[in-house]
Amino acid sequence: MCIAAICSSGWGAEINSGLTKTRPEMKKRIEALKEREARIPLPALTAEEIASGKRSVNNGRLRSIYLPESWQANRGATPNTQGRAAGAQSVAANLNQQQQAPDYPFKTRLFWIVSRTNDCQYCLGHQELKLRRAGMTDDQIASLDCKWSAFPADEQAAIRLTRKITLTPHLVTDDDLAALKKHYTDAQVADIIQTVAGYNSTNRWTASTGIPQDRSFGGDEPSQLDTPTSAEFSSVETSVAPYDYKPRAAWESRAEVEAAIAACRGRSPLIKLPTMEAARLALAADTPGITPPIWCQAMAYAPQTALRWWKHRQAVARDGKLNPNLKALIAWVTARENRAWYSAAHARTRLNALGVTDDTLYSIGTNEGSFTPAEQATFAFARKLTSAPHTIVDEDIAGLRNLFSDNEVAEIIFLVCDGNSFDRVTEMLRLPLEGGSTTIGQVQ
């Protein structure tokens, strides 16, 4: 099916498929997820691995099987809240280390909001268990779904923006962002936005690959998710799940996109950016003498985060089984779907360097005859996973598996996830486009 036909339908029949309105319904569904079969084969731990004491959550195992190692080691996520495969280290020990961070409960609550908004049942189950371990009662966790007044004003502002960044990033206004700035410093704003963007990436990976829920997690044997709910919250309907989802509008014309990119070049960033020298110092251990892009400068409030993202984006562009052109095209498609103009300009520069003309780029979504059926299917999937992750169904992944190897399918999914993270960081921070050309970084 061509992308235009898919998008004009708005995936209407699937919009609310499987969504749960009340907390008891939600708990029942995330517990039942333990019986799901992954959409990309996920072999069980062998007897030898179990005997050796090896433990890893299903998410980490799937990544380790199908993705290049370099894509996992430096992926752009906040390390104290994302939880990655621990190898021989137990999940409980890994979680105990994460929980030492002062902002762990706060960021986990934001992860819960992102997961409920995206209807990511796998991540939602994990955040339920993490919040229990952090000392929250079931009623306090339930308040995230329908009673934000139970939280302090600064956290309410973060929760409110988190949901909007997740569901409708293209509709986030300067006023929405200013409401967050009333409560947090520039460094905290950058951290919150980067963290929420990372959670949106993780959700799209775990939900679309259909990973089954882990049967034990963080030392819980077993991890029971379908627990009793108090009378106060047993029948209250969610204010977070995406029942208010609306299909995104048709893509803008070429002239409108060029105008938006031009306007991006001169806009003012949301926060006061660290100095370019701070960004250079952050990257010096990996790439001395580099002129960092603006996105890296924005992350220099946390130099280790800036370096991790830098190395991650280099690895994603360099490694893997997919054709470099297709990887860059995925970045272009997610940026167009998210109306992320800084990100779109960077993707266009990558593609031009690879020999892809602007005429070819702008034919996506209108006249795709120059692209193969496999490429067209990838574009359609990328748009759907970007704007409506809660509507991804078995057939979407099965369709890709008919056209690509399982490793390639995993890479396609991951690249869409990664694009959605980069889009949100750069657009929510209102980053101005670099002058002269949209460089990824130039060695001086």
pLDDT tens profile 274-290:
999 999 999 998 999 89
Are the CB atoms for 245 and 251 separated by under 8 Å? no
Among 57-66, 143-152, 215-224, 368-377, the minimum mean pLDDT is found in 215-224
- Give the contacts of 202 (CB within 8 A, at least 6 positions apart): 59, 77, 82, 120, 123, 417
Share of the chain above pLDDT 90, in %: 79
Claim to verify: residue 264 and residue 406 sit in the same structural domain: yes
Task: Quote the DSSP letter at residue 290.
Answer: E
CA distances from 385 to 138, 205, 421 (A): 31, 9, 12
- Helices 121-133 and 104-118 pack at an angle, to 10 degrees, of 160
Are the CB atoms for 158 and 266 separated by under 8 Å? no
Q: Residue 100's pLDDT band (boundaries 50, 70, 90)?
A: confident
328 belongs to a structural domain: yes
Claim to verify: residue 177 and residue 290 sit in the same structural domain: no
Claim to verify: residue 185 and residue 119 sit in the same structural domain: yes
Claim to verify: residue 290 and residue 418 sit in the same structural domain: yes
Claim to verify: residue 419 and residue 317 sit in the same structural domain: yes
Q: Residue 223's pLDDT band (boundaries 50, 70, 90)?
A: confident
pLDDT at 359: 97
Claim to verify: residue 202 and residue 282 sit in the same structural domain: no
pLDDT at 102: 72
72-97 pLDDT, tens digit per residue, is 865 443 333 333 333 434 556 666 67
Claim to verify: residue 64 and residue 153 sit in the same structural domain: yes
Tell me the H-state helices in 266-405: 276-283, 294-298, 303-318, 324-338, 341-353, 358-361, 373-387, 394-401
Given a cut of 50, whether residue 248 has pLDDT beyond it is yes
20-33 pLDDT, tens digit per residue, is 999 999 999 999 99
226 belongs to a structural domain: no
418-426: average pLDDT: 98
More confident residue, 243 or 57: 243
Claim to verify: residue 192 and residue 112 sit in the same structural domain: yes
Task: Say what the pTM is.
Answer: 0.90
246-273: average pLDDT: 96
335-348 pLDDT, tens digit per residue, is 999 999 999 999 99
223-231 LR contacts (CB < 8 Å, sep 24+): 223/125, 223/129, 224/31, 225/27, 225/30, 225/31, 225/125, 225/128, 225/129, 226/27, 226/28, 226/30, 226/31, 227/27, 227/138, 228/138, 229/23, 229/24, 229/27, 229/138, 229/142, 230/138, 230/139, 230/142
pLDDT at 275: 96
Q: Catalogue the E-assigned strands of 180-338.
A: 290-291
Structural domain harbouring 32? 21-208
Given a cut of 80, whether residue 438 has pLDDT beyond it is no
User: Which tokens is 430 given?
Assistant: 């209102």
Among residues 352, 365, 351, 337, which one has the least CA distance to residue 422? 337
345 belongs to a structural domain: yes
Dihedral sign for Cα atoms in the order 174, 176, 177, 179: positive
pLDDT at 93: 63
Task: Quote the DSSP letter at residue 273.
Answer: P
Tell me the H-state helices in 67-137: 69-73, 79-82, 91-98, 104-118, 121-133
- CA 169/CA 173 separation, integer angstroms: 9
pLDDT at 18: 83
Q: Which residue, chain included where needed, has tokens 């520069």?
A: 349
Three-state secondary-structure class, residue 442: strand
161 belongs to a structural domain: yes
Q: Across the chain, what does the average pLDDT equal?
A: 89
Given a cut of 70, whether residue 412 has pLDDT beyond it is yes
Given a cut of 70, whether residue 219 has pLDDT beyond it is no
Phi/psi region, residue 10 (left: phi>0; alpha: psi -120 to 50; beta: rest), is left
Q: What is the CB-side half-sphere exposure of residue 238 using CA atoms within 13 A?
A: 23
Claim to verify: residue 196 and residue 321 sit in the same structural domain: no
Q: Residue 428's pLDDT band (boundaries 50, 70, 90)?
A: very high
Among residues 123, 144, 279, which one has the least CA distance to residue 202? 123
118 belongs to a structural domain: yes
Are the CB atoms for 412 and 327 separated by under 8 Å? no
pLDDT at 72: 84
Domain CATH number, residue 156: 1.20.1290.10
Claim to verify: residue 280 and residue 398 sit in the same structural domain: yes
Task: Quote the DSSP letter at residue 389.
Answer: G
- CA 182/CA 154 separation, integer angstroms: 8
Share of the chain above pLDDT 70, in %: 86
Q: Residue 419's pLDDT band (boundaries 50, 70, 90)?
A: very high
pLDDT at 11: 37
Three-state secondary-structure class, residue 166: helix
Q: Residue 46's pLDDT band (boundaries 50, 70, 90)?
A: confident
Q: Residue 47's pLDDT band (boundaries 50, 70, 90)?
A: confident
Chosen domain end from 181, 208, 235: 208
pLDDT at 80: 36
Three-state secondary-structure class, residue 266: coil
359-388: average pLDDT: 96
Structural domain total, the chain? 2
120-177 pLDDT, tens digit per residue, is 999 999 999 999 999 999 999 999 999 999 999 999 999 999 999 999 999 999 999 9
Are the CB atoms for 259 and 392 separated by under 8 Å? no
Claim to verify: residue 276 and residue 405 sit in the same structural domain: yes
- CA 293/CA 433 separation, integer angstroms: 9
CA distances from 168 to 227, 249, 326 (A): 32, 12, 26
14 belongs to a structural domain: no
CA 31 to chain centre: 23
Given a cut of 80, whether residue 7 has pLDDT beyond it is no
Given a cut of 70, whether residue 231 has pLDDT beyond it is yes
Claim to verify: residue 63 and residue 159 sit in the same structural domain: yes
343 belongs to a structural domain: yes
417 belongs to a structural domain: yes
312-329: average pLDDT: 96
User: Which tokens is 425 given?
Assistant: 């960081």
